[in-house]
Amino acid sequence: MNAAAGQGLALVTGASRGLGRALALELARCGFDVVAGVRQFGPDTDALVGAAEGLRGSLNVQRLDVTNLGDWQAPPSLRLLVNNAGFRGPYLAVEDLPLEGWRQTFETNLFGAVALAQRCIPVLRANGKDGNGVGGIIANIGSLGTYSPMPFYSAYRASKAALAVLSESLRIELTPFGIRVVDIPIGGVDTDMLRDGITHRPPEAIAFPAYRAMAERQAAAARAWQGGVASSEQVATDVVAALLRDEPALRRPCDPNAHAAFAAGVGQAEEARLAAALHQHT
């Protein structure tokens, strides 16, 4: 895809706030006609529509719950799917987080992305390749936390690790159709989720005597980690630029913490294994 030309239609999930909102606006700024998927309408969505006025592309807000797609169908002109909708529950030890909490996390962070991919891939494939040989893009917003073992984060980390593995398999399966798959491992974006996260308050595990000391240490370590957090707008600009570049890497760091981690070698082994698998299967 060429940023200088009209881009076609993009779908962004979880677009009412935070990074999803910024991604929807940046894509419209770059000339995409954007469907901004939100779980419910409200003041945030009204503000989003207003912020998109005057941009090169258009923006249309659509109710879209990734955990319950119902009879939703992918737009016929779809060129780009951004699986951004995410959920993070309480910071609890594995033994204390109810299975329903695990299910809720995976329903949004993994199964929602799978359900959308299943409905969008046939449309992306049918739309064929553009002048640059690209048959559309699927972008999965992951987490740098996948590569950082830590307590009380197991459900979220496991769901994002599963999303990263999904991205690898999709990359191999969809390469013959020119459909590009990109994984964005977010390492720190100034959003409501971050401000309500462990960098700003103790984990819920602190209330459980068996884990109190560990939770206190985790809270202290998290407070010390404040550098490298970027604004949603800054990261969205970098994400969209990465999506429009034709590069072989599956994983594209787009914020300061992710850039630093990948520069230090995070993800290199995974990329090497993926390159070998692509050579074998495509």
pLDDT digits (tens, 9 = 90+) for 58-76: 999 999 999 999 999 999 9
pLDDT digits (tens, 9 = 90+) for 41-60: 988 888 999 999 999 999 99
Q: Report the alpha-carbon distance of residue 277 to residue 203 in Å, rounded.
A: 39
Q: Which amino acid type is present at position 200?
A: H
Domain boundary assignment for the chain = 9-198+231-281
- Contact yes or no for 113/183 (Cβ under 8 A): no
Give, in degrees to the nearest 5, the angle at Cα 110 between 274 and 63.
130
> Of 228, 109, 97, 98, nearest to 165 (Cα)?
109
Q: Report the alpha-carbon distance of residue 21 to residue 26 in Å, rounded.
A: 9
What pTM value is reported for the model?
0.93
**Ranges 116-125, 184-193, 255-264: which has the least confidence:** 184-193
Instruction: Tell whether domain 9-198+231-281 is in CATH 3.40.50.720.
Output: yes
Q: Which amino acid type is present at position 139?
A: A
DSSP states along 152-217: T-HHHHHHHHHHHHHHHHHHHHHGGGT-EEEEEEE--EESHHHHTSTTTS--GGGGSGGGHHHHHH
- Contact yes or no for 89/104 (Cβ under 8 A): yes
Output the pLDDT for position 2: 44
Model confidence at 198, in pLDDT bands (50, 70, 90)?
A: low
Model confidence at 27, in pLDDT bands (50, 70, 90)?
A: very high
Task: Give the catalytic positions in this structure.
Answer: 156
Which of 249 and 192 is assigned the larger pLDDT?
Answer: 249
Asked if residue 93 has pLDDT above 50, the reply is yes
For residue 267, give every residue at least 6 positions away whose Cβ sits within 8 Å of its Cβ, in sequence order, or none. 147, 185, 251, 261
pLDDT digits (tens, 9 = 90+) for 201-230: 889 999 999 999 999 998 888 776 666 688
